[in-house]
Chains A and B, each alone.
Chain A
Amino acid sequence: MKAYRILVSGIVQGVGFRPFIYRIAVKSNVYGYVKNLGGSEVEIKIIGREENIGKFFSLLFSKIPPPAKIEKILIEEDNVQDIHEFKILPSGNVVNEPSQIPPDLSICDDCLREILDPKDRRYKYPFNSCAYCGPRYSMLYKIPYDRENTAMRDFPLCDKCKAEYEDPENERRFDAQGISCPICGPKVFLSTSDGEIIQDKDPIATAAKLIEEGYILAIKGIGGFHIAANPFDDDVVIKLRERKNRPQQPFALMALSVDVIKKYAEVSQLEEELLKSLERPIVLLRKKEDSEISKYVSPYLDREGFFLYYTGLHYLLLDNLKEKISIMTSGNKHGLPMCTDEECVKTKLKGVVDYILYHNRKIVNRVDDSVIRISSGRIMFLRRSRGYAPTWIRIKRKLRKVTVAVGAELQNVGAVAFDDKVILTQYIGDTDELNTLEELEKYIKFFLNTYHLTPEVIVADKNPAYQSTRLASKLSEEYSAELVQVQHHLAHGLSAMAEYGLNDAVGIIIDGIGYGDDGNGWGGEVINIKDHGEKYSREYHLKYVPYTGGDINSLKPDRMLALFLSTFMNWNEIQNYVKLSDTELKVLEYQTRKNRLFTSSTGRFLDSISALLDICHYRTYEGEPAIKLEAFARNGKLLDFEFPIINNEIDTTAAFKWIIENGIQDKPSIAYTIQYELGKALVRAALKLNPEKIVVSGGASVNEYILKGMIENSEGVEILTQSKVPPGDGGIALGQVYYISEEK
């Protein structure tokens, strides 16, 4: 006889881990117990014959429940006790590690099989879930993850469900908090946009029929409402764009299977894995040239966002559609957060949707869909939200003080951090909008309360115009916590360094605009970062150009183009290249004469090239001109051009001179060359600092061709990009936290 004590930590709560241990222990004939240590740690004791213990371990490592994640496992020999059964013991009080809030998971294959089986009692049941699947965080009021702490508390278990819940032999339903059935669970309703309920035996099938007929529907999911519409009908898509006041921003498409998606887009193996993963992110895939999806779904882009169903409701809805695919875009009006209740749909989406398909389970926490793309073979988050948040990220350093980071401003994400754990909030949105700013505060406080923390340090950006900075000073007063401000691009660099546990690195930060230490708008920077940011020097940057007029230049690429041209061309000549009225150009000229603000932004540079090549003249969503420029370069070739590096500036104006001198014929190749060469120039600059490691971050680092230019010219120095959090402003909070961290 032998005995072992095993300590497991990671995602081991709310994912059927203890019942799993119980079952494999019984199966392999070992005795002992399993118990929750109150945190994200589980203690297991096993006693048995050596071959049985071997069997137990092999089952443990091969059959682990899909959503469980073992971060750390400690196995030690223990003394043999006289125990002859295996038990699940009540949770311990010793909190070694606080329990981790489980993220939302897509419906598992077993649950799906049940709802497709006419003989199963959960046939066509849209809310089927089990220990291994279903919503978690989005319906959680507080931890521990018990039914009475979730929105499922409104649905007491019926006798049959209760029996399943209490039966330790029931692999998927024993002790599973979110389970339900058609008798005891939530119900689905179909209503008009005013909320008038339409009596219908099968509201989901009817909703599908309405989508096919060209109506626009609000669909209640698990983290919020989607808006569904027929993606094949140009008129419908245009109608949706008008109603949503979203002229160009792409809509995501939800499909029933990867095979369906493959009809419209190219899917690599890695992309297929991402699509099928339990987190079910939206993946931006390369469109097929002959795709039948309306071109208005993602206008002028070469990628389109696809994701798979992640609830029974989605599955049943899509299965009722002829082509098994629908537009599923977030249910909000442009600039406002996604709706999470019917009231919001009836008021805020009035005039946008024709019908509402909803259910009576409350959405406790808004969780938007996650968005991922692959650039030059690397996973890049554009949005880290459902499925991932609020799983914590562990860093190789340590926080001696409880830290709150408020991130940046647009597409914002905040963080709460302690020990070596950084909990990034789900995607919050644009915090210049007051309600969204309040949500940032709400979710930061939710994590503070959940993990019983009082912040000692609040970290914010240095930008005095950010509302998040305002929140930071409010929080710092409220908790008497120290307020620390970190430069935007340093935070981007640190975010990447946090992923790799680096103390020193050379950071190439390619971004829109952030507030620089000299008051100018930085955004194309090579920063030598030492001691996790305590020391840093900005060694190279894109050439400074005037930034007269401020944010309006972000919206109108032609203004920015004129400002670039104004560095080497007179204003009479400029008017031949920009699409601006005479008056606006005159105003710009006048303002430029007294300009005191400059920028080294990569985003604004790409925007201007996009305008010069007549690709995009107005920005209606974040990054639009640059994203369209990237799309344009798809079949481009490398032409003969190189950016000069003069002193500490990469001369971006050379690109305009080159294009104007050579004329604009082969636009894709020009677009390709500019982006590729920009990456190359940045890496050349970085290499002058003899770096061991180069980290790349900032919103523009998802750009396929810039990245390619870097990777292919790095002379063997590793180019580290971000794969755990977005390199855009959604990852800033991680960098802000890392700045505060200390040696372990």
Chain B
Amino acid sequence: MSNKDIITLLHGAGGSYMHSLIKNVFMKLNDNYGEVGLEMLDDAAVINDTVISTDSFIVRPIFFKGGDIGRLSVSGTVNDIAMMGGNPIALSLAIVMEEGFPLSDLEKIVDSIKKTAEEADVHIVTGDTKVMEKGSLDKIIINTSGIGNRPPQLDYNINTLRKNRQPSRWLVPTNLRPGDKIIVSGTIGDHEISILSSREGIGFEANVKSDVAPLNKLMLKLLEVGGIADAKDPTRGGLADLLNDWSEKSGLGIYIKEEDIPVREEVRAAVEFLGMDILELSNEGKVVLAVSPEYEKDVLEELHSDPLGKYATTIGEVRKDISGVIMETVIGGQRYVGRPIGSPVPRIC
């Protein structure tokens, strides 16, 4: 068996390996069911105006600066529903634990789940627990699935888009039009760097907290403003994966400016050491919006009034004269932003 015939960690890294896995293996399951179905490969699906999404969480360490696996499990699924324009209502919760897992840790996680669910105003309505033999998994895996309904704010928002396009009824990439502004709701990379620095052996001089948070309430406020063509959270694969997704699915180009991307100094320093690309860092409490230009100012204003959007800025725009994702660099050059490959590939000869 060659390396190509087995699943490697790369296949789970949210890069091009994972995309080929989805295309070549999972798309067999697609039968184009639902208004937004598997074929869209979006954050969530829509059936009869019900939004549905699922996600499994395996973060290490399970308790990190700014959050824990419980908060992450709720936020992750809530956000996926919100990114479709849905209003999340209820979640299921499935936990798989390794034999020997401390009960006190489980209690801490469940408390955090409760707190985060309250914060997001969603309900845990069903669940499942499994325990596996020691060594057959690393501590704990949590899966959450969720459903949401169609909020009236989404109808309003979609209506505002009709002035200059024929939008889908949901927040999907095909809504993008040339001229749309790309806005991020805050600093990039906080989650990934926090996770890395919480791990054993690494302690960066400055502490970076994970941004993990449910974004559904913020999203409803933004839909009330209007002009939102699509929303997406830059989780695994970061901005690079997200923007490439948008570009591919909309058939349009995306142009961003490196100097406009908000990044904390501590994150920048950490990235220097780690040899990572800021655009590929994962986030758990950020949303990237494609906004019709006439709503740019109002959307930014609304974001700035919310603690979750305090550092929101416009980082670029959708263009039809280019293809793919292009970033203007700080030195005044331009470079293509590719999908992350999953692990750094040396390029410098």
B12 close to A (CB within 8 Å): no
A699 pairs with B336, CB closer than 8 A: no
B347 & A434 in contact (Cβ 8 Å cutoff): no
**Pairwise interchain contact A470-B348, C-beta atoms closer than 8 A:** no
Asked if A268 is an interface residue, CB under 8 A from chain B, the answer is no
Provide the residues of chain B in CB contact with A553, threshold 8 Å.
275
Stretch at the interface among B26-34, B194-202, B241-249, B282-290: B194-202
Stretch at the interface among B107-115, B139-147, B309-317, B337-345: B337-345
Chain A minimum-CB-distance residue to B344 = A550
Chain A residues, Cβ within 8 Å of B202 = 586-587, 590
> A581: nearest residue on chain B (CB-CB)?
B273
- Return the chain A residue nearest B272 by Cβ: A552
Q: Does A334 lie within 8 Å of B331, measured CB to CB?
A: yes
Chain B contacts with A in 196-226, Cβ cutoff 8 A: 199-205
Residues of A within 8 A of B204 (CB): 583
Are A433 and B332 CB-contacts (below 8 A) given A513-B346, A586-B202? no
B349 lies within 8 A of A409 (CB):
yes
Please tell me if the beta carbons of A728 and B349 are within 8 angstroms of each other in the complex. yes
Q: List 16 A-B contacts (CB under 8 A).
A: A333-B331, A336-B332, A348-B332, A433-B334, A437-B336, A465-B338, A467-B335, A470-B338, A513-B346, A513-B349, A549-B273, A551-B347, A552-B274, A555-B348, A583-B204, A596-B9
Question: Which stretch in A194-202, A285-293, A514-522, A525-533 binds the other chain?
Answer: A514-522
Docked-complex contact B346 and A432, CB < 8 angstroms: no
Contact of A590 among B199, B272, B331, B348 (CB under 8 A): B199
Interface size on A, residues (CB 8 A): 56
User: Out of B201, B343, B347, B348, which one reaches A586, CB within 8 Å?
Assistant: B201
A588 touches B273 (CB 8 A): yes
Q: Is B203 within 8 A of A586, CB to CB?
A: yes
Are the C-beta atoms of B275 and A583 separated by less than 8 Å?
A: no
CB pair B203–A550 under 8 Å, yes or no, is no
The answer, among B200, B332, B344, for a CB contact under 8 Å with A597, is B344
Contact flags B247-278 to A (C-beta < 8 A → 1, else 0): 00000000000000000000000101111000
0/1 interface trace, chain A 549-578, chain B, CB 8 Å (1 if under): 111111100000000000000000000000
B16 in the interface, Cβ–Cβ < 8 Å? yes
Most chain A CB within a 10 A radius of its CB, from B333, B341, B348: B348
Chain B residues within 8 Å of A, Cβ to Cβ: 3, 9, 16, 199-205, 270, 272-275, 326, 331-336, 338, 341, 343-349
Q: Are B341 and A464 in contact (CB under 8 A)?
A: yes
The distance in angstroms between the C-alpha atoms of A584 and B274, with both chains bound, is 8
Contact of A587 among B274, B331, B334 (CB under 8 A): B274
Q: How far is the CB of A584 from chain B (nearest CB, A)?
A: 5
Taken residue by residue from 579 to 603, chain A's Cβ proximity to chain B (1 for < 8 Å, 0 otherwise) reads as 0000110111111010011010001
A38 within 8 A of B: no
A511 contacts chain B at the CB level, 8 A cutoff: yes
Complex CA distance for A175 and B120, rounded to whole angstroms: 82
Contact of A547 with B by CB under 8 A? yes
Complex alpha-carbon distance, A547 and B205, angstroms? 24
Judged by DSSP, the binding face of A is mixed
Which 10 A-B pairs give the minimum distances between C-beta atoms?
Answer: A550-B344, A549-B275, A552-B275, A512-B349, A434-B334, A465-B345, A554-B348, A590-B201, A587-B273, A521-B346
Task: Check B336 against A589 for contact (C-beta < 8 Å).
Answer: no
Distance of A610 from chain B, by nearest CB (Å): 16
Q: Which residues of A have CB within 8 Å of B199?
A: 590
Report yes or no: A550 in contact with B349, Cβ–Cβ below 8 A: no
Known: A511-B349, A587-B270. 16 other contacts (CB 8 A): A336-B331, A408-B349, A410-B347, A432-B335, A432-B347, A434-B336, A435-B333, A464-B341, A465-B341, A465-B347, A488-B349, A513-B349, A515-B346, A583-B205, A603-B349, A729-B349
Which listed residue, B203, B205, B349, touches A410 by the CB 8 Å rule?
B349
Judging by beta carbons under 8 Å apart, are B3 and A519 in contact?
yes
CB distance A550 to B346 under 8 Å? yes
Within 8 Å CB of B16, what residues of A? 464
* Contact between chains at A597 and B343 (CB < 8 Å): yes
Shortest CB-to-CB span from B320 to chain A, Å, is 17
Give chain B residues whose Cβ lies under 8 Å from the Cβ of A465. Answer: 338, 341, 345-347
Known contacts A465-B345, A511-B349, A550-B344: does B274 contact A433 (CB below 8 Å)?
Answer: no
CB proximity of B68 to chain A, nearest CB, Å: 21
Contacts of A215 in B (CB 8 A): none
Chain B residue, CB-CB nearest to A571: B201
Indicate if the CB atoms of B344 and A549 lie closer than 8 Å: yes
CB interface residues, A 427-483, toward B, < 8 Å: 432-435, 437, 463-467, 470
CA distance A467 to B275 in the complex (A): 19
Q: Are A551 and B343 in contact (CB under 8 A)?
A: no
Residue of B nearest to A434 (CB): B334
Residues of chain B with a CB closer than 8 A to A437's CB = 336
In the bound complex, CA of A485 to CA of B181 (Å): 38
Residues of A contacting B326 with CB < 8 Å? 434
A492-518 interface code vs B (CB 8 A; 1 in, 0 out): 000000000000000000011111000
Residues of chain A lying within 8 A (CB to CB) of residue B273: 549, 583-584, 587-588
Chain A positions within 8 Å of B274 at CB level: 549, 552, 587, 591
Would you call B346 and A547 a contact (CB within 8 A)? Answer: yes
Chain A residues 394 to 436 lying within 8 A of chain B, measured CB to CB, are 408-411, 432-435
Given contacts A583-B203, A586-B203, contact A512 B332 (CB under 8 A): no
A513 touches B333 (CB 8 A): no
Most buried by A among B9, B344, B346, B347: B346
Say how far B159's CB is from chain A's closest CB, in angstroms: 38
Q: What is the CA–CA distance of A349 and B201 in the complex, to the nearest angstrom? A: 45
Pairwise interchain contact A515-B201, C-beta atoms closer than 8 A: no
Asked whether A550 and B275 contact (CB < 8 A) given A432-B347, A589-B201, the answer is yes
Q: Which of B205, B336, B343, B346 contacts A599 (CB 8 A)?
A: B346
Query: A511 contacts which chain B residues (CB < 8 A)?
Result: 349
> B200, A434: Cβ atoms under 8 Å?
no
Q: How far is the CA of A584 from the CA of B205 in the complex (A)?
A: 10
Q: Beta-carbon contacts of A318-337 to B below 8 Å, as 1s and 0s?
A: 00000000000000011110
